[in-house]
Amino acid sequence: MHGDGRRIGTAVAEGVRPRLGDGRIRHAATGHQPAHAARGASGKQSGRTQEIQRLIGRSLRAVTDLKGLGEKQIIVDCDVLQADGGTRTASITGAWVALHDALAWMAARNMTKDGVLRDHVAAVSCGLYGGEAVLDLDYAEDSEADADANFVMTGAGGIVEVQGTAETDPFSQEQFDSLMLLARQGIAELVELQKLTVA
């Protein structure tokens, strides 16, 4: 799934100054696109880059016990090695694996307790292409889709975030429901792959 895209994810844990006792998890750097495209001529990150970073951070925090993490910060970075459609959704799915490994490493060294990561989280893109609901749009399909949406869900099926846009005519509730059904199926497959990856 996630087309022909290739991504690499890392997670770095660091101490933070005592505040309210909660940990922090955030996504940083170039996670959704090649490094040379992440910043404009001014050297500043684009609004799109910042929005995607916040989306990935929200998705990871939704399944993390921040109080259990303690006064630590984990910075996750998913860099795109080869881009295709669905880069932000693939980055969320891969970022969970990086976060899992970081927390397991920390727990093995008594840096944090077990159970900080409460569930899986994964994401897919779906769209209406040629009048049909399609899972995991590639770049060509995405550029010509009548509508596209990103779904972020937990392993238990909880909805973290949905982003949907009609590119031409508005789409119906029935069409949205068909996209949601596809997304649930796709995310269930990704969660199984995550389990195999971290086993």
Q: Which fold has domain 6-198?
A: Ribosomal Protein S5; domain 2 (3.30.230)
Classify the C-alpha dihedral 189-191-194-199 as positive or negative.
negative
Q: What confidence tens digit (pLDDT) does each residue in 33-78 have?
A: 434 344 444 556 667 778 888 899 999 999 999 999 988 889 888 7
Q: What confidence tens digit (pLDDT) does each residue in 117-127 have?
A: 999 999 999 99
How much is the pTM?
0.81
* Mean per-residue pLDDT of the chain: 82
89 token code pair = 């959704």
Predicted confidence at residue 3, as pLDDT, reads 47
Predicted confidence at residue 152, as pLDDT, reads 97
Q: Which residues of 144-173 are buried (b: 16+ CB within 10 A; e: fewer)?
A: ebbbbbbbbbbbeeeebeeeeeeeeeebee
Predicted confidence at residue 2, as pLDDT, reads 47
CB atoms within 10 A of CB 78: 28
Q: How large is the average pLDDT for residues 156-183?
A: 95
In contact, 89 and 1? CB cutoff 8 Å: no
